[in-house]
Amino acid sequence: MSEAKKIDWKGVDDMPEMAVSLSSMRVNKTASWRNLKPIIDYDKCKPCGICWKFCPEPAILLKEDGSPVIDYDYCKGCGICVEECPRKAITMHREER
């Protein structure tokens, strides 16, 4: 895979014909509109993988020991993980920017 890169256009003549992204998704972080942020309480979490399975993005990744980590660069704060967690280990908090 090539390096994540940001492409800058000057104007209409040097743009590609199609709406190819200005950068790859590794640069184009899509979590900017999140206003509620899910936070995992690791004392309550018994890593079952349900939040990882239900996250539509996917913005929940699993570490080698199976415990979930939220990728806040791409999490849009939909709250599905909070709804699905059987141990109520994830809660939503107002986004501070």
Angstrom CA distances, 46 to 41, 42, 66, 72, stand at 10, 8, 9, 21
Query: Considering only 17-25, 57-65, 71-79, 87-95, which stretch makes contact with another protein by CB under 8 A?
Result: 17-25
What is the distance between the terminal CA atoms of the chain, rounded to a whole angstrom? 32
Residue 35 found at the interface with another protein (CB under 8 A): no
Among 25, 39, 61, 69, binds another protein (CB under 8 A): 25
CA 75/CA 18 separation, integer angstroms: 27
Residue 64 found at the interface with another protein (CB under 8 A): no
**Chain residues in the site for another protein (CB under 8 A):** 1-2, 9, 11-12, 15-22, 24-25, 28
